[in-house]
Amino acid sequence: MPEHDIAPQSHNGAALLDPEPERPATPPGDLSDAVSAPGRELLAVLARHLPRIRAEAGPNDRDGTFPAETFRAFGVDGVLGATVPAELGGLGVSRLHDVAVALLRVAEADASTALALHAQLSRGITLTYEWEHGAPPTRALAERLLRAMARGEAVVCGAVKDFGREVTRLRPDGAGGWLLSGRKMLVTMAPIATHFVVSAQAPMAGGETLLYAPIVARDTPGLSIVDGWSGLGMRASGTLDIAFDDCPVPAGDVLARGSVGAHSDAALAGQAISSVAMLGIYAGVAQAARDFTVDAVARRSAEAPAASRTLVAEIEARLYTLKATASAALVNIDELSPRLEMDSGERGRRMMTPFQCAKVTVNQLAAEVVDDCVTVVGGATYVAEHPLARLYRDVRAGRFMQPYTYADGVDYLSAQVLGLERDNNYVSLRATRPADSR
Amino acid sequence: MPEHDIAPQSHNGAALLDPEPERPATPPGDLSDAVSAPGRELLAVLARHLPRIRAEAGPNDRDGTFPAETFRAFGVDGVLGATVPAELGGLGVSRLHDVAVALLRVAEADASTALALHAQLSRGITLTYEWEHGAPPTRALAERLLRAMARGEAVVCGAVKDFGREVTRLRPDGAGGWLLSGRKMLVTMAPIATHFVVSAQAPMAGGETLLYAPIVARDTPGLSIVDGWSGLGMRASGTLDIAFDDCPVPAGDVLARGSVGAHSDAALAGQAISSVAMLGIYAGVAQAARDFTVDAVARRSAEAPAASRTLVAEIEARLYTLKATASAALVNIDELSPRLEMDSGERGRRMMTPFQCAKVTVNQLAAEVVDDCVTVVGGATYVAEHPLARLYRDVRAGRFMQPYTYADGVDYLSAQVLGLERDNNYVSLRATRPADSR
Amino acid sequence: MPEHDIAPQSHNGAALLDPEPERPATPPGDLSDAVSAPGRELLAVLARHLPRIRAEAGPNDRDGTFPAETFRAFGVDGVLGATVPAELGGLGVSRLHDVAVALLRVAEADASTALALHAQLSRGITLTYEWEHGAPPTRALAERLLRAMARGEAVVCGAVKDFGREVTRLRPDGAGGWLLSGRKMLVTMAPIATHFVVSAQAPMAGGETLLYAPIVARDTPGLSIVDGWSGLGMRASGTLDIAFDDCPVPAGDVLARGSVGAHSDAALAGQAISSVAMLGIYAGVAQAARDFTVDAVARRSAEAPAASRTLVAEIEARLYTLKATASAALVNIDELSPRLEMDSGERGRRMMTPFQCAKVTVNQLAAEVVDDCVTVVGGATYVAEHPLARLYRDVRAGRFMQPYTYADGVDYLSAQVLGLERDNNYVSLRATRPADSR
Amino acid sequence: MPEHDIAPQSHNGAALLDPEPERPATPPGDLSDAVSAPGRELLAVLARHLPRIRAEAGPNDRDGTFPAETFRAFGVDGVLGATVPAELGGLGVSRLHDVAVALLRVAEADASTALALHAQLSRGITLTYEWEHGAPPTRALAERLLRAMARGEAVVCGAVKDFGREVTRLRPDGAGGWLLSGRKMLVTMAPIATHFVVSAQAPMAGGETLLYAPIVARDTPGLSIVDGWSGLGMRASGTLDIAFDDCPVPAGDVLARGSVGAHSDAALAGQAISSVAMLGIYAGVAQAARDFTVDAVARRSAEAPAASRTLVAEIEARLYTLKATASAALVNIDELSPRLEMDSGERGRRMMTPFQCAKVTVNQLAAEVVDDCVTVVGGATYVAEHPLARLYRDVRAGRFMQPYTYADGVDYLSAQVLGLERDNNYVSLRATRPADSR
């Protein structure tokens, strides 16, 4: 490991202030360690929280309780600002690879906590991009939020999926600002959110529909939090619905996100960056299942039967495979992330294609690993609160994570490979589908 | 369909009383219909109960409530005596194929109800065997129980699996009877049980350990029902623990079940007959998932995407496969069941081998079907009480059903195929394993 | 069940001795035996040929040689007329289940021989239908061919697939007959064929294109046999191309087969009946691989390693599954075959859907079984002429058998399930596709 | 990283132009490019040979002909010395990652050529280790061979697997040297070999059996090349048997390889290093199948059917996964390779475990990719000489590659995971097995 990797001045992931920018280590390919110094620092900080997270995982799953205290402690320790640049007060983790490793560690203890934390860490990455490359009002907004995230004071959720057949819409308020109305579902980390980044449509004169992402503070008039979701798994992720009733949003708090039907692949970069680190969560779920199982089998007095030895070997091979595949997709995005000189569509596709390949594999293999672990450990796992039963429920969330469902992933990948024209922006694509088929 | 199949005198499955015994129809191979007249009658009776079962499935799953009222109504309608011979007052269903079809229908509505009902229907089959072929005291006991089952007054559960490291044991009471002590777990249908058939060991002078199955009435002194199991799925199956504290059992109420380590394959016949109809339950789970999914996709306005069409076709093929495979194993056992002239070990193996092949397939394909259905329907299923989420949890019970776990099934099948010596009696086999490896 | 199956003049010794007409036995579900007396007779006759077929399998595979001598001997023993009705001199096998069992036995010895024999046996079934239900000239033609098949003098191949982009067409000869031109590929059993049933199109005034199946004698002027196909597997199946250059065909020798784009599901019955028995071939391939492997492992001195025991058990389960599934599909078609009172589209779909489900499964499982066998036996199999290497090549033909490719099977099954309109007649469907996509 | 990788005298143009020593790039994780300058140079050199290799692949496969002319040209261009250190005249490729990328490129054109080339490139790596770390006579021998390899004059094959039940043995010649007798099979690249590194046993007084690897020149008296292997695939790899009849071997030409039954994991490092780059070959096979298929589907006029789109997406995901997994295992070994300060057993296991995980995955996914490609392209591939048919045969070699079969891999991985004692040295392990079970 080169010594400059651990130099004291290296808390800063951004190259600007550092005359000798840190060169990340070669990623080990198995998500076993961070490649950047800030990433390693984040792992060290998180390690202190893992015992509590692990201890609360079962009860929170049973009750569907969000681990608010853990997130409060995250705020105190800077975890909520882990991906905020150092010069704005954050830990400066900029590598998605390292974010995924951190989420893997958390998910080994509790997948729900990792899923909620992902929302914040991912937001730090994308707001940093806005801060570096946005228009002046956007930069100011991003800076304000990022600084608050670093202080543990801002918690920023994404709200993408419309509830039912209703479309969440922005309309001009007549005074240069906007009014937001609609309802979003599956908003993770919502119980402690201070802000929501909301996917919204704005129909324009002429028939075009523009896409926006207004950032709405929790105390905005007209915003209400609707309880009620009780998940099959990921039950402690604080996943709720949010309703908007003519919520006022200043023009400067609205990010442009293209238009419906534009078929612009430039959007893919941000969508890949926002979601790819979630692969670490499912790697953590599979790792936890594997570790539990190996421990259980190794402690038995009787020799492991033939099928258990075969399954244990297959579990090991699949876990290695899923981590290697996730790692490759993460490193690829990390490499492309700063290459803004590239054609933006090309850059987007070159991020998204390996990510989608990895997502298909991670979703499948993580579920297979957990399932084989259940088989190996046996009937004792078939209890609602058994750790493997929780993992069996949690792991199934993977296929539903953004940006693409399995069916959309197949459409995307096959279109890429066969050279077919297609709208790859999933927000735009959904907006063009009948409400019952979104 | 030959007319004698539906002749009025055909309520009687036993050949003895019938000068022109009914010849069952060729099984359709897809578990779509019963092959015997009593089987068809059972389906007709059950059809009246399905709406209630379906309506209660969700709430009972959520709350872990046993559908006691449904079982009371089953008793009134003769369902609890469906496999009791007609001359003892039952419906006379003797074909395991038809029992499986009945369980499939119930499991489409609620798998937990089907699992509990299986315990009773399976008991009717095995007690009928005792009634026909047992020693006089056993015949008397069996007749008494069977008549009570036909009246809906007896509900007889099996209690096989020891709790923890404790072994359930019989010891002589010094007066010609026995005393039973120990604790059993995973006793299905226990809330309404009137009797329990308990797997117990009796260590003998000389080191041999005999295996017995005492039949113990619920109100026996020393018997207590221990609540507490909360399953990942099959939550309404009334699965509880039963503890025995020196429960007195008359000698005539104890069935001999060989000895530990005897390596007798004669036991396989009874073990196969007791469990094979459960294949119908998992066929029903897969069928319910498939039907829900096809309905959901067909109602969408948008054209089904490529992946959904592919998965729907694979679901259809797998469901057909699992039903055909289960059907073949059931018909095979029905054919061998009356062939008592055969070598008993050979008969046992020829029942068990196809059953285990089918069990491997049914467990795998049922889980794959449900999983693919979840993928096709999408994120809306990822809710604790969604029907597909329930099926996703229920289906996973399959691998843990008697007699063999996956690992034991692999050991059994490979030993059969390769000509290796092995104790195939799972009750005996478990008794010889270290307590932490049972 | 056609009445001649149980007619006293049956060639079947069992039937002759039995004053009560035989009722087919319940199919065992594992393709282990025939269910009809003529089927059992066929198995007995074939048993005498198996040693030679087995001995020649390797050399014929290596050299791509058709086993002409075996087929000559088949002719002498009535095997080439096995599916010809007894009153026309044949063995009177009418059950596709039994045809499949016979093909399984042959395929265990050599899959190529079974594939070629299937062409003849299948033709006997379909010509019998024409003889029973066709228009008078067709009946006469069918009777003539069937009687010759029974004598071993007629060998009738199907010729379905057009070579390259050329379409095989019939045009009127101006004198009430037809002229046939085009080229067919993949005509199995061609080296000894006396007649070819050719799929041909006839464009009509008005734009409609009719489909016909002219039956063309080998010595017809303009017909030539084009050598050259060298298959990956099935190398001894005598698969060749046939070219037609204005071959004259009398009107009475042309069977009507509907029109392109008619979307008639009535055609499905004949297409299912023609092809379903091929499932037995792939069951035989898998069985041969399994038997070789079990024998090899059982003869080793060392204990089988864990993976081998697991794979052997999985092989056993999969082989059972594929045979049970094939059996169910065959029995279903045998049950529906005589039900001409049904709606013809409904009857066609009810035959085809289970068949396609079974085809998906059989193709997949047979390949998996062979592949696992190769893994278990090890590197010694990786030799061009090793029996398992031959099976590895042979088994891959399954996915390409009529009527549907995997992709067409997915389209068919998903359309059936989802209620989508589609042309299910694969001959018609292919005719409407661009030449490069057939 | 050995220092010669970045030495100014490197054959590598890139390095010469760059005053700052090259730091290997982060591996892209998809085997798309080399990470070292010598690796990139090797790719550039190979690119000139690919058209010929591609053109000859079909004919050489058909005839089982070794591409001797290609290897002669490889010698002229330095390819046969690619992994020889630059100071000994080679290209200086020391990264196994880059060797694998090179083999992938060759295997895309012809897998047999890649398999043969692997033998030489792998030998360069291991002889370099002997040259750097061996005893003086070994160093001298290694230097002599390496310099000759760099000049294209030495071609050094491995000969590991005994033929039949015969064990290849060394015995002292009484004059300080050895005599070698036995027969080896499956020696790849044998037609042009100048030397063979032979796995041999030497039974010692006292019952111990030592393992040696004598290096034997082709013209040694008593050595004969035995023709005859005709593979299922990899038919142009020049795989032959070599017989030794009291071949004299000087003491200095014999490498010590431990003893039978020593349970030393130190041997794992060399065994992993020798074989891991073969993962690139199967990645290349899968890549070639994918590219052929995508091209075929994209050129069709008709819209790709649902199943083809789904399979194409799955192919893409699996290919990405197998390359990412292979890449991770390769990079891991490259990182551990120079870490000679580690415990040698620990280093061996940390190399072998990820390699075996990757091998399980690569073997499985490569075969699945090829199989799915065959399905997508369709029946036209079912021809002996079709490129996909060749790949279907070639890909199946993967499971038989050293060091472990699938069964040994399962034993190894499960023992590692569960902490079981086991002899992991496959050469030693095979020596202890009954001859019929090796």
Q: What is the ipTM of this complex?
A: 0.94
Q: Using CB atoms, which residue from B375, B378, B434 is nearest to A302?
A: B434
Element (H, E) at A211: strand A209-217
Please list every residue in chain B whose beta carbon sits closer than 8 Å to the beta carbon of residue C304.
414, 418
DSSP letter for each residue of B102-162: HHHHHHHH-HHHHHHHHHHHHHHHHHHHHHHHS-HHHHHHHHHHHHHHHTT---EEEE-EE
Mutate one of B321, B333, B404 to test the C interface: name it (highest C CB count within 10 A): B321
Task: Work out the average pLDDT over C293-297.
Answer: 97
CA distance A288 to A390: 11
Read off the pLDDT band of A435 (50, 70, 90): confident
- For A309, the closest chain D residue by CA position comes to D414
Distance from CA of C208 to the nearest CA of A (A): 33
Q: pLDDT tens digit string along C131-179?
A: 999 999 999 999 999 999 999 999 999 999 999 888 999 999 999 999 9
CA distance A229 to A232: 10
Please state, for a pLDDT cut of 70, what percent of chain C lies above it: 95
pLDDT above 70 (res C12): no
Return the pLDDT at C18: 40
Nearest to C244 by CA among C214, C213, C221: C221
Please list every residue in chain B whose beta carbon sits closer than 8 Å to the beta carbon of residue D307.
306, 309-310, 313
Mutate one of C391, C402, C437, C438 to test the D interface: name it (highest D CB count within 10 A): C437
Return the pLDDT at C21: 43
pLDDT above 50 (res A389): yes
Read off the pLDDT band of B107 (50, 70, 90): very high
Contacting subunits of A (3+ beta carbon pairs below 8 A): B, C, D
- What are the φ/ψ torsions at residue B143 (nearest 5 degrees)? -60, -45
Residue indicated by tokens 């209400």? A224
Question: Does the beta-carbon distance from D310 to B307 stay under 8 Å?
Answer: yes
Return the pLDDT at D206: 87
Q: What angle do CA B240, B242, B245 make, to 5 degrees?
A: 165
| C-beta separation of A366 from A282 below 8 A | yes
Query: Residues in chain D with pLDDT < 50?
Result: 1-21
Please list every residue in chain D whose beta carbon sits closer than 8 Å to the beta carbon of residue A298.
418-419
Distance from CA of C254 to the nearest CA of B (A): 36
Please list every residue in chain D whose beta carbon sits closer than 8 Å to the beta carbon of residue C405.
375, 378-379
Please list every residue in chain B whose beta carbon sits closer than 8 Å to the beta carbon of residue C419.
298
Question: Does the beta-carbon distance from D309 to B307 stay under 8 Å?
Answer: yes
- For B25, the closest chain C residue by CA position comes to C26
Average pLDDT, chain B: 93
Distance from CA of D313 to the nearest CA of B (A): 9
- What are the φ/ψ torsions at residue C32 (nearest 5 degrees)? -85, -20
Return the pLDDT at D25: 72
Q: pLDDT tens digit string along B181-216?
A: 999 999 999 999 999 999 999 999 888 999 999 999
Question: Does the beta-carbon distance from D308 to C381 stay under 8 Å?
Answer: no
Contacting subunits of C (3+ beta carbon pairs below 8 A): A, B, D
pLDDT above 60 (res A90): yes
Question: Does the beta-carbon distance from D313 to A30 stay under 8 Å?
Answer: no
Average pLDDT, chain A: 93
- Report residue D213 as tokens: 């690897």
Give C162's strand partners: C184
User: For the whole model, what pTM was predicted?
Assistant: 0.95
Q: pLDDT tens digit string along B415-428?
A: 999 999 999 999 99
Mutate one of B292, B319, B413 to test the C interface: name it (highest C CB count within 10 A): B413
Distance from CA of B39 to the nearest CA of A (A): 32
Q: What burial class does residue A172 get, using C-beta atoms within 10 Å of its C-beta: 0-12 exposed, 13-18 middle, 19+ buried? A: exposed
Return the pLDDT at C22: 52
Cβ-Cβ contacts under 8 Å between B and C: the total is: 159
Cis peptide before A250 (omega within 30 of 0): no
Question: Does the beta-carbon distance from A310 to D414 stay under 8 Å?
Answer: yes
Please list every residue in chain D whose beta carbon sits closer than 8 Å to the beta carbon of residue C367.
371
| C-beta separation of C243 from C221 below 8 A | no
CB atoms within 10 A of CB D198: 26
pLDDT above 80 (res C116): yes
Q: Using CB atoms, which residue from C23, C316, C328 is nearest to B417?
A: C316
- What are the φ/ψ torsions at residue B393 (nearest 5 degrees)? -80, -45
Residue indicated by tokens 């991770």? D328
Q: Using CB atoms, which residue from C298, C331, C416 is nearest to B419?
A: C298
Cβ-count burial A403-422 (b if 16+ within 10 Å, e if not)? bbbbbbbbbbbbbbbbeeee
Return the pLDDT at B292: 98
Q: Using CB atoms, which residue from C313, C358, C418 is nearest to B297?
A: C418
Return the pLDDT at B22: 53
Q: Using CB atoms, which residue from B309, B323, B409 is nearest to C414?
A: B309
Strands B178-187 and B169-172: antiparallel
How much of chain D is in helix, strand and coil states, percent to nearest 5?
Answer: 55, 15, 30
Please state, for a pLDDT cut of 90, what percent of chain C lies above it: 87
3-state secondary structure of B418: helix
Please state, for a pLDDT cut of 90, what percent of chain B lies above it: 87
Question: Does the beta-carbon distance from B309 to D306 stay under 8 Å?
Answer: yes
Q: pLDDT tens digit string along A19-31?
A: 444 555 788 899 9
CA distance C5 to A125: 76
Distance from CA of A308 to the nearest CA of C (A): 8
Give D242's strand partners: D184, D225
Give the sign of the dihedral formed by CA D356, CA D357, CA D360, CA D363. negative
Question: Does the beta-carbon distance from D310 to A414 stay under 8 Å?
Answer: yes
Q: pLDDT tens digit string along D402-437?
A: 999 999 999 999 999 999 999 999 999 988 898 888
**Domains, in order of start, for chain D:** 3-154 (1.10.540.10), 159-259 (2.40.110.10), 267-437 (1.20.140.10)
Distance from CA of B417 to the nearest CA of D (A): 18
Cβ-Cβ contacts under 8 Å between C and D: the total is: 125
CA distance D238 to D261: 32
Distance from CA of A374 to the nearest CA of C (A): 17
CA distance C197 to C355: 23
Q: Using CB atoms, which residue from D299, D301, D308 is nearest to C407?
A: D308
Tell which wins on pLDDT, A430 or D80: D80
Please list every residue in chain C whose beta carbon sits closer than 8 Å to the beta carbon of residue A307.
306, 309-310, 313
Tell which wins on pLDDT, A164 or C117: C117
- For C25, the closest chain B residue by CA position comes to B26
Question: Does the beta-carbon distance from C310 to A310 stay under 8 Å?
Answer: yes
Interface of D to B at Cβ within 8 Å reads 305-307, 309-311, 313
- Report residue A40 as tokens: 């390693």
Question: Does the beta-carbon distance from B294 to C417 stay under 8 Å?
Answer: yes
Contacting subunits of D (3+ beta carbon pairs below 8 A): A, B, C
